[in-house]
Chains A and B, each alone.
Chain A
Amino acid sequence: MKDKKGSIIALICLSITFWSCRGNDQTETSKTHAVHGNRAGAYKGYLAINADLKQRVFPEQDIYIFLQPSAEGPLVRLLGGFSDLGSSNKFMNGTPNATNMALWVLMAQNIAKHIADQCAYARIEHKEAYASYEGRKIKINSDMKGLLAGICFLGIEPKADMLISLSQGLWMQVVGFEAPYSEFEAFRDFFLLNEDRLSGRNRVEAMMLAMLLNPYYLLEQ
């Protein structure tokens, strides 16, 4: 009787495995097919990332300026967003491809550089003590500024416990709980073990870039 039950369970498990592995249009045709309709795996889009970074990093500045001069410019549309034309309200440009990845890389790099530039002001208390971008002084979230006051000055060979602690603070400030802890562990270990001997400023730039281009940060789950 037990053997029979075990065989039935095995058969059911095998069937489920076979069913989930079988080819069908969803898996065998273009992988872009899978992200249509259900937005999991698509970009969160410019507005979502903008809202997130406004809350965590840039309280008074929309992030479009890190890609183009005007909020109404076309490039942010290529980062994923809803169109409101016709009878349907469709999310467009949400599927990652080489072109929109290039734009996300460009934006992330510009943001990362700008945050790193803040290192020069991180320990200055004055209310105007922020780096400029394209002629505009961009205020940084006060918690972020506090973190930068530490992490920017870690030096080329920082103490491990200080690096771990500050990098976790930075990770929580930017990524929060968007990504699983294992992603932070990979992030932490990379910067702990990285032999590139980065200065404090350059390390901040690299950390920001790594966080902003993490799929858990950019994609819907």
Chain B
Amino acid sequence: MRSGNINRRAFGKLSFAAGVLPLTFGRESYGKNEQKDDHFFLQVIIGSGMDQSYMFDARPLELTQAGKYSNYLGQEPDVWETKSGGKTLASPLTRPLKHLADDITIINGVHMAQDFAGHGQNLNYLLSGNPFGGNWFGPYISQKASSSLDFLQMGILPDSTLKNAGNSLNLSAKDAGELAVAMRSVPRIHDSTLGQFILNRMEHASRKKGPFSKGSHLMHQGLLGQTKLKSYFARMHDLEESSYRPSSSVHGSMNVVSKYFRSGFTNSVIFAPFHYVDTHDAKSAKKAPELYEAIVSDIKEILDFLKNSPYDESRSLLDVTTVCIASEFGRTMGQKSKPVDDTGTDHNPLANSIIMAGKNVRTGQVIGQTDLQTIEDFENVSKVHKDRDKDLLSVMGLPYDYSLGRTDIDARPEHYDSSHYIHFANIANSILSNFGISSQRMWKKEINSSIPAPSIPGLFK
């Protein structure tokens, strides 16, 4: 009898544990994606052309004093160094990012759309490898992971022309909240007799060729996808928000990004927080210090949010997300015939700076470099630079040796050969390889070329 009592008690305890523990575990977990190798992509775009000299490609004041380079901060740059030996001159405005020095890799001197200086052309190039618009690779990442939504976009990119944006959402954080509420009210119709009739008409209209039929097919698929869609939103509703509370305005957006990733709804996000960086006029250019203080603050909050927010019990969001932070081009040192203390800055597609972080990135590096670092460099400019910028208003990315994996700082080429430089195509293909995307999707080294641009050696593990 006694042993029976013990057995019943033990059995009761075990049953209790078996029943309660999974519930507790499930409630406390931060949402589990069903994918085996959870991997997400966050593209942060500070649109309209960031001035790299206020970030990680700064210049000594001697260039300003010599009338070469406008610098409204009026301070010498810091030497930005990492444990793995990465080194560059960085504006003091980047000091809030210092604790992340070993969590990011900086790529300087990135060439953008060749022969085009416009926002739209370079934004298209940043996203698709084609100045006239094309397919962004974010959807390939989501499709490979079988996510329902190709990508989420937060913020506006007014001049871009993405061809594969059909299965995407463009939302602000507030929009996302309203959408989530609306989703709870969406009726389930497709499994009723009427619903079947409605589906039948969509399917019937999709039978022919042509864009209308394709649209009808997409409506049909969209209606069939309602159950799965609602499950994503239900999962999002159950996910706890990160306890990390950045003080800036990016917090709401990052919480949406977090929920959309953790629910499995999408694997790709474009986040474009707005900052007015297109400082062609002197008045706005003089506000650069406060402008870049705000930008650095946003970048810090985005990366800190990812680093401090759990994805699951053992990983942070940064552990599972590859991050790329970019603008569509850099900016010139000043403008022709304008004094450096009263000038605006123009577009410079010859020298963009990119920040990479997160999953699989070999962090703590500084890759690439621009020319015109010292006064002496102005006397020793390459012919290639002079051909493209005869007034020497722009810095230009130096040639990069892909076989050695380093900048060729002494090179002074006579002729431009795109394969000797870092283009964003090289970075994009590095990202694509990192995600295991088919080589058919690789960007070509030039628009009319059939040869894919090589990945940057050592950018990823």
Contacts and interface: CB of A to CB of B under 8 A. Distances in A.
A177 interface: no
A88 B171 contact: no
A186 B200 CA distance: 10
A29 B159 CA distance: 23
Contacts of B172: 74
A129 interface: no
B222 A41 contact: no
Interface in B150-201: 156, 158-159, 161, 163-172, 174-175, 178-179, 182-183, 185-187, 189, 193-194, 197-198, 200-201
A161 interface: no
Interface in A159-205: 183, 186, 190, 194, 196
A183 B164 CA distance: 31
Contacts of A103: 182, 186
Interface in A65-101: 67-68, 73-75, 77-78, 83, 85-88, 90, 92-93, 95-101
Contact of B149 (A99, A109, A196, A206): A99
Contacts of A213: 198, 202, 219, 223
A98 B205 contact: no
A102 interface: yes
B215 A42 contact: yes
B358 to A, nearest CB: 26
Given A106-B187, A215-B205, A35 B211 contact: yes
Contacts of A93: 169-170
Contacts of B209: 20
Contacts of B216: 41, 215, 219
Contacts of A97: 149, 166-168, 218, 222, 225
Interface residues of A, number: 57
A210 interface: yes
Interface string B103-136: 0000000000000000110000000000000010
A113 to B, nearest CB: 9
Contact of A98 (B119, B148, B161): B148
B210 A106 contact: no
Tell me the dominant secondary structure on chain B's binding face.
helix
Contact of A214 (B193, B201, B218): B201
A87 B47 CA distance: 14
A206 B196 CA distance: 12
Contact of A101 (B182, B193, B204, B226): B226
Nearest to A36: B163
B222 A216 contact: no
B193 A99 contact: no
A40 B210 contact: yes
A74 B181 CA distance: 12
A41 B211 contact: yes
Contacts of A214: 198, 201
Contacts of B186: 102-103, 105-106
A120 to B, nearest CB: 21
Contact of A75 (B164, B182, B225): B182
Contact of A29 (B164, B175, B197, B217): B164
A24 interface: no
A100 B149 CA distance: 11
A74 B175 contact: yes
B225 A98 contact: yes
Nearest to B227: A98
Given A74-B172, A196-B193, A40 B212 contact: yes
Contact of B194 (A38, A98, A210): A210
B167 A86 contact: no
A103 to B, nearest CB: 7
A217 to B, nearest CB: 10
A75 B197 CA distance: 27
Contact of B178 (A31, A73, A218): A73
B211 A88 contact: no
A35 B193 contact: no
Q: Give the interface centre of B120, B172, B178, B221 by most chain A CB atoms within 10 Å.
A: B178
Q: Give the interface centre of A29, A34, A35, A92 by most chain B CB atoms within 10 Å.
A: A34
A221 interface: yes
Contact of A206 (B194, B200, B201): B194
A119 B230 CA distance: 32
B182 A105 contact: no
Contacts of A38: 211
A74 B182 CA distance: 11
B273 interface: no
10 smallest CB-CB distances across A and B, nearest first, come from A86-B158, A32-B166, A41-B215, A95-B166, A101-B222, A41-B211, A74-B175, A98-B225, A85-B158, A96-B218
11 contacts: A33-B166, A36-B163, A41-B212, A41-B218, A74-B174, A74-B179, A96-B219, A96-B222, A98-B221, A106-B187, A196-B193
Interface of A: 20, 29-36, 38, 40-43, 67-68, 73-75, 77-78, 83, 85-88, 90, 92-93, 95-103, 105-106, 109, 183, 186, 190, 194, 196, 206, 209-210, 213-216, 218-221
Given A77-B170, A98-B225, A102-B226, 7 more contacts: A32-B166, A34-B211, A40-B211, A41-B210, A109-B187, A209-B194, A213-B219
